[in-house]
């Protein structure tokens, strides 16, 4: 397995871990999808109550607890009938399962510890050992399937690495980028303000000139 594939699997596995923690802390949350992305992973949820980044430390703590019990990802092929029973309270999972079944694709469930998810695969062999460090980064609204006619879900973004060192380096790089963006924004704001001042000066000059012309005109008419 290449390093990229291994990192991809690690991050997708961490998305499972996030969903497991969310379900324990916020029962009745509906799960949508949880892919790995270039910078980490995300998972889309429909929460009963809105979620904020203030909840992240609690969720991360729960993820760390659950990870201790995850020694593998066990694959099981299931039929659409079994899927309908197993995921009866998960409308987003069911919608995807029905489509997969219609297209003749296999339906698979992956289980780690007590958590299972409908998924196509691509996981760490030994999540407890391989997921060395993770961090939740942000939450944003995301329409189900990217369609604004659908419900707005909460997308939690995070990242994960094999080691704490790699995670720390990545977070430091993010902080530096943020600092540069802030600085750039400040410079642009100042430039805009200076431009605005120049514009106001020009408008004032034009007005004064116009008034002067009108006054002159009125004066010549009254002569
Ligand atoms: Zn998966």
Q: How far is the CA of 16 from the centre of ligand 1 (A)?
A: 6
What is the per-residue pLDDT across 97-152, written as a single tens digit (0 to 9) for each?
999 999 999 999 999 999 999 999 899 999 999 999 999 999 999 999 999 999 99
Specify the pLDDT at position 201. 75
DSSP summary character for residue 29: P
Question: Residue 178 C-alpha to ligand 1 middle, in angstroms?
Answer: 31
Selected residue with higher pLDDT from 219 and 78: 78
Q: In degrees to the nearest 10, what's the CA dihedral of 119, 98, 156, 140?
A: 150
Per-residue pLDDT tens over the stretch 34-74: 999 999 999 999 999 999 999 999 999 999 999 999 999 99
What pTM did the predictor assign? 0.82
Report how far ligand 1's centroid is from the alpha carbon of 51 (Å).
23
Query: How many other C-beta atoms can be found within 10 angstroms of the C-beta atom of residue 143?
Result: 14
Ion ligand 1: residues, Cβ under 5 Å: 119
Q: How far is the CA of 112 from the centre of ligand 1 (A)?
A: 10
Q: Is the pLDDT of residue 222 over 60?
A: no
Range 3-162: architecture per CATH: 2-Layer Sandwich (3.30)
- Mean pLDDT for the chain overall: 91
pLDDT-based confidence at residue 184 (cuts at 50, 70, 90): confident
Distance 218 CA to ligand 1 centre (A): 82
- What mean pLDDT do residues 184-204 have? 76
169 Cα–ligand 1 center, Å: 26
Q: Name the one residue in this structure whose structure tokens are 């760490």.
A: 124
Ligand 1 centroid to 207 CA: how many Å? 67
Residue 188: pLDDT above 60?
Answer: yes
Residue pair 119/109 in contact (Cβ under 8 Å)? The answer is yes
4 vs 193 pLDDT, higher one? 4
Question: In angstroms, rounded to a whole number, what is the distance separating the alpha carbons of residues 88 and 80?
Answer: 11
């Amino acid at each position: 397995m290449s390093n990229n594939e291994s990192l991809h699997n690690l991050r997708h596995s961490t998305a499972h871990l996030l969903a497991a923690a969310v379900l324990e802390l916020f029962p009745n949350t509906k799960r949508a999808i949880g892919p790995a992305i270039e910078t980490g992973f995300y998972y889309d949820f429909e929460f009963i109550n809105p979620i904020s980044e203030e909840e992240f430390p609690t969720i991360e703590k729960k993820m760390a607890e659950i990870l201790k019990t995850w020694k593998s990802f066990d694959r099981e092929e299931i039929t659409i009938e079994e899927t309908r029973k197993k995921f009866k309270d998960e409308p987003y999972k069911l919608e995807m399962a029905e489509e997969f079944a219609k297209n003749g694709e296999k339906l698979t469930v992956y289980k780690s510890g007590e958590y299972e998810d409908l998924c196509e695969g691509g996981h760490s062999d030994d999540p407890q050992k391989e997921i060395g460090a993770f961090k939740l980064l942000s939450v944003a609204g995301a329409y189900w399937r990217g369609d604004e006619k659908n419900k707005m879900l909460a997308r939690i973004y995070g990242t994960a690495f094999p080691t704490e060192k790699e995670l720390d380096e990545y977070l430091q790089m993010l902080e530096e980028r943020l600092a540069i963006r802030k600085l750039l924004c400040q410079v642009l704001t100042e430039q805009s303000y200076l431009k605005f001042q120049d514009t106001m000066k020009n408008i004032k000059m034009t007005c004064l000139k116009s008034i002067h012309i009108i006054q002159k005109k009125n004066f010549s008419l009254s002569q």
